[in-house]
Amino acid sequence: MGSVLELVEVSLPPRVRVSYPPSAFTFQHQQILVTSGTLVFEEGETTHTLNAGDCLQLGPPVDCTFANQTDDHCVYILGLVKR
Protein backbone atom coordinates (compact mmCIF):
# COMPACT_ATOMS: atom_id res chain seq x y z
CA MET A 1 0.00 0.00 0.00
CA GLY A 2 1.34 3.46 -0.93
CA SER A 3 1.19 6.74 0.90
CA VAL A 4 -2.14 8.38 1.69
CA LEU A 5 -2.70 12.15 1.42
CA GLU A 6 -5.12 13.73 3.87
CA LEU A 7 -6.12 17.42 3.80
CA VAL A 8 -7.50 18.94 6.99
CA GLU A 9 -8.87 22.47 7.29
CA VAL A 10 -8.34 24.00 10.74
CA SER A 11 -9.86 27.17 12.16
CA LEU A 12 -7.77 28.41 15.06
CA PRO A 13 -9.65 30.91 17.27
CA PRO A 14 -8.07 34.19 18.38
CA ARG A 15 -5.39 33.99 21.11
CA VAL A 16 -5.24 30.15 21.09
CA ARG A 17 -2.12 27.94 21.23
CA VAL A 18 -2.11 24.21 20.51
CA SER A 19 1.04 22.15 21.10
CA TYR A 20 1.99 18.65 19.97
CA PRO A 21 4.92 16.38 20.91
CA PRO A 22 7.20 14.95 18.20
CA SER A 23 5.46 11.56 18.50
CA ALA A 24 2.32 13.10 16.94
CA PHE A 25 4.20 13.46 13.62
CA THR A 26 6.37 10.35 13.57
CA PHE A 27 4.67 8.62 10.64
CA GLN A 28 3.65 11.69 8.67
CA HIS A 29 5.00 14.23 6.23
CA GLN A 30 3.24 17.53 6.83
CA GLN A 31 2.74 20.86 5.10
CA ILE A 32 0.82 23.92 6.26
CA LEU A 33 -1.01 26.36 3.95
CA VAL A 34 -2.54 29.43 5.62
CA THR A 35 -5.74 30.54 3.86
CA SER A 36 -6.67 33.46 6.15
CA GLY A 37 -5.23 35.27 9.13
CA THR A 38 -1.77 34.83 10.64
CA LEU A 39 -0.33 31.64 12.12
CA VAL A 40 2.73 31.56 14.34
CA PHE A 41 4.18 28.07 14.07
CA GLU A 42 6.88 27.03 16.52
CA GLU A 43 8.90 24.11 15.18
CA GLY A 44 11.37 23.15 17.87
CA GLU A 45 13.65 26.18 18.35
CA THR A 46 12.46 27.85 15.12
CA THR A 47 9.47 30.21 14.89
CA HIS A 48 7.68 30.79 11.56
CA THR A 49 5.13 33.55 11.03
CA LEU A 50 2.79 32.58 8.19
CA ASN A 51 0.21 34.83 6.54
CA ALA A 52 -2.56 34.04 4.06
CA GLY A 53 -1.02 32.33 1.03
CA ASP A 54 2.12 31.17 2.86
CA CYS A 55 3.05 27.48 2.84
CA LEU A 56 5.54 25.64 5.05
CA GLN A 57 6.92 22.11 4.78
CA LEU A 58 7.78 20.67 8.18
CA GLY A 59 11.10 19.04 8.86
CA PRO A 60 11.82 16.04 11.11
CA PRO A 61 9.42 15.56 14.06
CA VAL A 62 10.06 18.00 16.95
CA ASP A 63 7.88 19.74 19.54
CA CYS A 64 5.44 21.96 17.61
CA THR A 65 3.00 24.71 18.56
CA PHE A 66 0.30 26.29 16.39
CA ALA A 67 -0.52 29.77 17.73
CA ASN A 68 -2.92 32.49 16.73
CA GLN A 69 -1.67 35.64 18.44
CA THR A 70 -4.25 37.93 16.82
CA ASP A 71 -7.86 38.91 17.53
CA ASP A 72 -9.09 37.25 14.30
CA HIS A 73 -9.55 33.60 13.36
CA CYS A 74 -6.72 31.92 11.49
CA VAL A 75 -7.62 29.24 8.96
CA TYR A 76 -5.04 26.85 7.57
CA ILE A 77 -4.93 23.58 5.69
CA LEU A 78 -2.71 20.73 6.83
CA GLY A 79 -1.51 18.41 4.13
CA LEU A 80 -0.63 15.10 5.78
CA VAL A 81 1.03 12.22 3.98
CA LYS A 82 0.78 9.08 6.07
CA ARG A 83 3.44 6.49 5.38
The domain total for the chain is 1
Residue 77 belongs to domain spanning: 4-82
CA atoms within 13 A on the CB side of 65: 12
Question: What CATH number does the domain containing 8 carry?
Answer: 2.60.120.10
Mean pLDDT of 71-81: 95
State the pLDDT at residue 28: 76
DSSP track, 1-27: ---EEEEEEEEE-TTEEEEE-GGGGTT
State the pLDDT at residue 46: 96
State the pLDDT at residue 12: 98
pLDDT over 80 (residue 83): no
Tell me the pLDDT tens digit for each residue of 4-62.
Answer: 889 999 999 999 999 999 888 776 789 999 999 999 999 999 999 999 999 999 988 89
